[in-house]
Structure 1
């Protein structure tokens, strides 16, 4: 983590990457800085090329006036029976923001709930830091904040680059297979990997979110195929 910025106009932006994939973690990033210090083309990570995302994330990490925090929520936590994605997202945002927020800060998050106000309220009450910070800071949440707020956009970039790095590492774990793909259910490469892995091992891989419908579908198809062959 780099040094905490001291400019009075600095504030914390928070966003996550990987809420919907069937493979790999959700990654949450928080960035504390002054918007003027950010590259002019900072934007929602989805609107930038992978190369530019990597460049911006590296520049942010190298800037002593930018504080970063990155946390991961791994598949076992996502699959836990008592968990739900809204709560996990709130807690992830709170853990990341809590590492770098300062008394009196403004925190702006990309809303991970249909209700922006509910997400902001839950986030404010969940920040796992000292009570004085929770009471002093102002928390806002908005849909599309990664497009409209530069510091939230920076957080989305850091989260996406970290998530992509995790997927690359996961892919290397399964070198016997062609590729795990992006990890998203809509990706044919990801679905092909899951089918091949289940065909070989009779279960989904450890990095998969087994509570996702995609995993249930692949397991059911494998079971039906075995019955048909029998």
Structure 2
């Protein structure tokens, strides 16, 4: 399997855009919790070894890489809330989180590489959508790591406030335990009411 590299970033640097942010989100599929995005600008002279799509890394490796990124790169993480997911829809909410992550960088980037097939509405800088970007671009892979770790930790915190749903293990995704807890314990303030399994419990005949 090929691993992400810095080719895309270098081609954009060659066009005169020196501060290229990789942007990725996590948490579109869960029934609970926010959707989380990260934006990362790598330092070309200090790229941590082993960056890859967060899903292909062990939790220990992800944590080590995030520590290295926080020392060498610019990293910004942002969320869109359950309310925003229910108000807009999950795609728009994930784009809101992406825009917030970009805006949260210490210095604005010149260019953004967005994981996926769409550039969010409201982008104020040049951008390119990259399908399966976390497997192609080191900057997007770095963003996938920062977003996943941040969201997973948040769901562990929420699991302590709302035990029984298994969010510390399933991160809000519809695991068997989570679906059974929805039936037995009901819907929490952190559940996405627009998502069918939650909606169906709220509006049972």
Q: The residue matched to 2:128 in structure 1 has which SS?
A: strand
Q: What corresponds to 1:89 in structure 2?
A: 94
Deviations 1:14-44 (A, max 9, x none): 0001011001111111011234522221111
Q: How does 1:107-126 map to 2 (within 5 A)?
A: 107-111=112-116, 116=117, 119-120=118-119, 122-123=120-121, 126=122
Match of 1:228 in 2: none
Number of aligned residues: 188
Q: Where in structure 1 are there 5+ consecutive unaligned residues?
A: 1-6, 128-133, 199-203, 225-230
Which position in structure 2 is the counterpart of 1:207?
Answer: 190
- What's 1:20 paired with? 29
* TM-score, length-scaled by structure 1: 0.74
Q: Is 1:184 the equivalent of 2:136? A: no
Q: Which runs of 5+ in 2 are unaligned?
A: 1-12
Bigger drift between 149-158 and 90-99 goes to: 90-99
Check the 8 A contact 2:53/2:145 in 1, yes or no. yes
Instruction: Report the structure, 1 or 2, having the larger helix content.
Output: 1
1:76 CA displacement: 1.2
Asked if structure 1 preserves the Cα contact closer than 8 Å seen for 2:166 and 2:178, the reply is yes
Q: 1:72 aligns with which of 56, 79, 82?
A: 79
CA RMSD after TM alignment: 2.3
Give the match's secondary structure for 1:37: coil
**Cα contact 1:14–1:31 (8 A) shared by 2:** yes
1:174 aligns with 2:162: yes
CA contact (8 A) 2:53 2:135 kept: yes
Kindly provide the CA deviation profile for residues 85-135 of structure 1, in whole angstroms up to 9, marking residues without a partner as x. Answer: 222222221221123285672211102xxxx3xx23x45xx13xxxxxx3x
Contact 1:35/1:150 (8 A) holds in 2: no
Larger Rg: 1
The alpha-carbon distance between structure 1 residues 209 and 39, as it changes in their structure 2 partners (threshold 3 A), is same
Task: Give the equivalent residue in structure 1 for 2:41.
Answer: 32
Q: Against the structure 1 CA distance between its residues 30 and 75, is the aligned structure 2 distance closer, same or farther, given a 3 Å change threshold?
A: same
